[in-house]
Structure 1
Amino acid sequence: MNAPQPQVIKMYAAREEIYPRETKGRYASLRWVFVWLTQLVFYGFAWLQWNGRQALLFDLAARKFYIFGLVLWPQDFIYLAALLIICAYLLFLATAVAGRVWCGFACPQTVYTEIFLWIERKIEGKRSARMLLDKQGPSLKKFLKKTTKHVVWAALALWTGFTFVGYFTPIKQLAAEVTTLSFGPWEWFWVVFYAFATYGNAGWMREQVCKYMCPYARFQSSMFDRDTLIITYDSKRGEPRGARGKNADTSKLGDCIDCTMCVQVCPTGIDIRKGLQYECIGCAACIDACNGVMDKIDLPRGLIRYSTDHAMAENYTTAQIRAHALRPRVLIYTGILCLIVAAVGSALWLRTPLKMDVIRDRGAMGREVEDGMIENVYRLQIMNTTEQAHTYRIRVEGMEHLHQVTADTVKVGATETLAYPIRLRADHDAGHKGSNKIEVELEAIDDPSLHVSEHAVFIVPR
């Protein structure tokens, strides 16, 4: 009797290549609308000019963020944090209402995968041609097609990396540096890194990013409920599935003809007929494919459609689905989002584009100068966040017989920070011994609405 042979159990399954079939339909057109929209914004806004400078620029070296007519400084970081919170709540709201609609239509991974797949189809052909090409042995034709595809992918990825860095280094300056290859080390790093990430994620990894790397796929279920719109297969109508042959008894068959078109078009390679799966990105390609098949066999559309668990179980009408969409979770998300947007909008509207810090010279608490007068020295840290230069008048109030020795006007350039020293003097018997509260006011001569005041103290020696 032969001894049992040891078996090797592999804990890792090799990836099976997915060849998504191209599909046409309402949702496919909508996906391409978002592809064009997002890429026009990404590639176009980097070149958009505003007041003689780049409209969108996150100048980390100068610590200034330019967002069209708005200039944000490090002190304004709260606004950027609020923007991230708004984006997060928008994502929560969209997920609660329509599942992974962000993933299917606007996520950069989906968008660039769609673009890279389009390039692949144009060079290597349709799904069957690509599958056949990959099965073939080495040949000159295969080498040329593969090389051309990867060169185009790499060129697009490099352009994407260049554009990304162009939001942090002025893109016109960056373009001039390209001609001489005079990038700085960090510019080289980020252009190549972002290009490599785009090329690798959209060209090679594709669905693996959505299935294994993206955390959103893992925690999305916590934002779902039975009234969340998801892509569903109507098993009551579709089962039992079977082909429509000449001699087939269609009275015993459901509407699904088991053509697997819904599987062939899926970018993550799942079978939606098995129910909701975390790999589903909600792109609705299976809906377009199934509707096309239903049209060909003269059956109603909607065997695969956007619906909810409640709607499938209770046979809700479209009006009932919409009514159930306005549930407490959605209303809470909407209310919080509206409050945050209103608060941030009001803060930006009421924001004074002039900031000043009054810093007293701590090296001399208060010194006696000629004629027995007491002098204190201060440094005004003035930030003009507008994009026009202004001349400001300095006024000091709070003590009698207090006057300013230095000039009472100062000019600050556009989006400039200036440290301006001032010297204040008072009679020896003015105020009281110790610290006296004063107020320093700064007002633009050409625009009185630009004014700010800060408290300080004037020290009279004991």
Structure 2
Amino acid sequence: MSLKATPPERIKVKTAEAAKAERFNPRHRIYVRKTEGIWSQLRRRMGWVMIGLFLILPWLNWDARQAVLFDLGERKFHVFALTVWPQDLILLAFLFMMAAFALFFVTTFLGRVWCGYMCPQSVWTFIFIWFEEKIEGPRNKRMKLDQAPWDWNKLWRKSAKHGAWIAISLFTALTFISFFEPARNLYLDVFTGQASAGIYFWTAFFTLATYGNAGWMREIMCLHMCPYARFQSVMFDKDTFIVGYNAARGETRGPRGRKQDPKALGLGDCIDCSLCVQVCPTGIDIRNGLQYECINCGACIDACDDVMSKMNYAKGLISYTTERQLEGGRSKVGRPKLVGYGVAFGGILMAFLYMLMTLAPVQVDVLRDRNQLFRENRDGLIENVYTLKILNKTEQPQQFALAVEGLDTYQWQGPQSIEVKAGEVFTLPVSIAVDPVELDRPMRDITFIVADRQNGTEARAASRFISQM
């Protein structure tokens, strides 16, 4: 039997444009197969915890207000009993640094588990896939439905799926906005047409963003848009726990019957069923080695373990392991990079907690009179003029007593006891007069004190008293 050469005109070469078009063609998209197992259950439970916190927090109350509310209009963030003002935004910087080093530590130790178990993109994608399965059916039925011509069955299923996706996206958008606008007024205003144009804009924006990301883009976000996927390899080493395939045990791949001895057939434990690929949300083949697209969700582990059980083989052909273990070595936990990230995280955490515990309920700023450094009043005293700006960070009006340190004797011109409303910035001009005999140098460092005698708290602000040029 002779082989016939294919005529050149029938040879089809894929151009870069054609390959790109095929990659984003809906008919070639990833159809994720449902899987069950310990890691899938853990992922779902952690996802429910994240969703639960996201949905419940805007509806909790604290002292007759929303417990968690980032009020941008009033420029204050409420987190239960804590109120953070713009002057305290250094706390936000420390919070971001803590999150960064926590992510570095977890990634160095456990790989990209944040992406697989707690990332909102992954959590919402799995929610959308759940609705897709309930409406359109399992993986094989979804593939056939996409290939089938448009009829009533396809029309109503596709309409129901996208309707559910849009409803989830709208609810997600309103819940997210509820962290910035009071939740109890937001929903009523939006659905009665009383909300502002800005509210409607952001509702539409986050609805479309959620619908597009979790419904259509999915793995594209993880593969091409998420920066974490790009720099994670910097934190990986041979002792990082990853989802890995034991090639020494699995190769050579090939199908066989349950009762057949793979060794007699010259085969490894992998039966080449491709289930590990079908359940992967990013569509990779873990058997090709570590890839940056892997989000460490463990779905392929559950699928492979299920197949190994049915074949009466030992589980763990695909497992959470390290590169060193796959090479036959023993992993090291306490390595310098991991310890360094842990120490950095612990140090920033302690600094954050200290700043949080020492957060003063009152703040004072002092502005000197720029037009005249000092003057001599009609009594022959040297007088300096200041403007005090006193911020009451509490939710109740406070009574404050004012004083100054650094001068032995002085005359205070202006009130020394004031009441500042909740959240108010109280502006108070005062002047300090001192007998020239008491001044032994042309400039003295002084400190203004604003004290709440009832609560025993005070705030200090440094300034200077000038008597000579």
TM-score by length of 2: 0.90
Query: Structure 1 residues 293-302 or 428-437, which shifts more?
Result: 428-437
Aligned counterparts of 1:307 and 1:392: Cα–Cα separation in 2: 61
Runs of 5+ unmatched residues, structure 2: 1-6
Aligned counterparts of 1:439 and 1:289: Cα–Cα separation in 2: 69
Change over 3 Å in CA distance of 1:246–1:109 after alignment to 2 = closer
Q: Which of the residues 434, 450, 461 maps onto 1:454? A: 461
Aligned counterparts of 1:146 and 1:276: Cα–Cα separation in 2: 36
> Equivalent residues in 2 for 1:146-185 (5 A)?
146-185=158-197
Which AA in structure 2 matches 1:58?
Answer: F
Which AA in structure 2 matches 1:456?
Answer: S
Q: Does structure 1 residue 289 correspond to structure 2 residue 328? A: no
Q: Which of the residues 404, 427, 439 maps onto 1:419? A: 427
Aligned counterparts of 2:446 and 2:249: Cα–Cα separation in 1: 81
Q: CA deviation at 1:360?
A: 2.4
1:398–1:437 CA contact under 8 A, matched in 2: yes
2:276–2:304 CA contact under 8 A, matched in 1: yes
Aligned counterparts of 2:417 and 2:384: Cα–Cα separation in 1: 18
SS of alignment partner, residue 46 of structure 1: helix
Which AA in structure 1 matches 2:362?
Answer: L
Q: Which of the residues 369, 377, 384 maps onto 2:385? A: 377
Aligned counterparts of 1:312 and 1:461: Cα–Cα separation in 2: 78
Q: CA deviation at 1:175?
A: 2.5
Q: CA deviation at 1:374?
A: 5.1
Which AA in structure 1 matches 2:312?
Answer: D
Q: Find the counterpart in structure 1 of residue 3 from structure 2.
A: none
SS of alignment partner, residue 90 of structure 2: helix
SS of alignment partner, residue 380 of structure 1: strand
Query: Structure 1 residues 86-95 or 183-192, which shifts more?
Result: 183-192
Q: CA deviation at 1:388?
A: 3.2
Q: CA deviation at 1:340?
A: 1.3
Runs of 5+ unmatched residues, structure 1: none
Q: Which of the residues 95, 99, 121 maps onto 2:133? A: 121
Change over 3 Å in CA distance of 1:436–1:337 after alignment to 2 = closer
Q: Does structure 1 residue 387 correspond to structure 2 residue 399? A: no
Q: Which of the residues 322, 326, 333 maps onto 1:325? A: 333
Q: Find the counterpart in structure 2 of residue 190 from structure 1.
A: 202
Aligned counterparts of 1:153 and 1:256: Cα–Cα separation in 2: 37
Q: CA deviation at 1:433?
A: 8.7
Query: Structure 1 residues 50-59 or 434-443, which shifts more?
Result: 434-443
Aligned counterparts of 1:349 and 1:36: Cα–Cα separation in 2: 32
Q: Find the counterpart in structure 2 of residue 267 from structure 1.
A: 281
Q: CA deviation at 1:107?
A: 0.9
Change over 3 Å in CA distance of 1:372–1:180 after alignment to 2 = farther
Change over 3 Å in CA distance of 1:438–1:277 after alignment to 2 = closer
1:400–1:431 CA contact under 8 A, matched in 2: no
Q: Which of the residues 293, 298, 312 maps onto 1:298? A: 312
2:401–2:451 CA contact under 8 A, matched in 1: yes
Aligned counterparts of 1:440 and 1:52: Cα–Cα separation in 2: 34
Change over 3 Å in CA distance of 1:334–1:460 after alignment to 2 = closer
Which AA in structure 2 matches 1:111?
Answer: V
Query: Structure 1 residues 294-303 or 242-251, which shifts more?
Result: 242-251
Change over 3 Å in CA distance of 1:82–1:438 after alignment to 2 = closer
Change over 3 Å in CA distance of 1:292–1:249 after alignment to 2 = closer
Q: Which of the residues 264, 271, 286 maps onto 1:257? A: 271
Q: CA deviation at 1:246?
A: 7.7
Aligned counterparts of 1:447 and 1:255: Cα–Cα separation in 2: 71
> Equivalent residues in 2 for 1:430-449 (5 A)?
431=439, 435-448=443-456
1:432–1:460 CA contact under 8 A, matched in 2: no
> Equivalent residues in 2 for 1:224-239 (5 A)?
224-239=236-251
1:384–1:417 CA contact under 8 A, matched in 2: yes
1:392–1:411 CA contact under 8 A, matched in 2: yes
Q: Find the counterpart in structure 2 of residue 106 from structure 1.
A: 118
Aligned counterparts of 1:162 and 1:29: Cα–Cα separation in 2: 28
Change over 3 Å in CA distance of 1:218–1:399 after alignment to 2 = closer
Aligned counterparts of 1:193 and 1:303: Cα–Cα separation in 2: 44
Give me the CA root mean square deviation: 2.4
2:68–2:79 CA contact under 8 A, matched in 1: yes
Change over 3 Å in CA distance of 1:177–1:339 after alignment to 2 = same
SS of alignment partner, residue 404 of structure 2: strand
Q: CA deviation at 1:335?
A: 1.3
Q: Does structure 1 residue 280 correspond to structure 2 residue 270? A: no
Q: Does structure 1 residue 11 correspond to structure 2 residue 16? A: yes
Aligned counterparts of 2:147 and 2:308: Cα–Cα separation in 1: 32
Which AA in structure 2 matches 1:231?
Answer: V
Paired residue total: 453
CA offsets 1:334-387 (integer angstroms, 9 cap, x no match):
111111111221222233232111112334444455555554432211112233
TM-score by length of 1: 0.91
1:291–1:302 CA contact under 8 A, matched in 2: yes
Aligned counterparts of 2:75 and 2:258: Cα–Cα separation in 1: 73
Q: Find the counterpart in structure 1 of residue 53 from structure 2.
A: 41
Query: Structure 1 residues 393-402 or 24-33, which shifts more?
Result: 393-402
Q: Which of the residues 345, 354, 368 maps onto 2:353? A: 345
1:435–1:458 CA contact under 8 A, matched in 2: yes
Which AA in structure 1 matches 2:339?
Answer: L
Q: Find the counterpart in structure 2 of residue 132 from structure 1.
A: 144
1:164–1:191 CA contact under 8 A, matched in 2: no
Q: Which of the residues 418, 430, 435 maps onto 1:410? A: 418
SS of alignment partner, residue 220 of structure 1: helix
Which AA in structure 1 matches 2:414?
Answer: T
SS of alignment partner, residue 269 of structure 2: coil
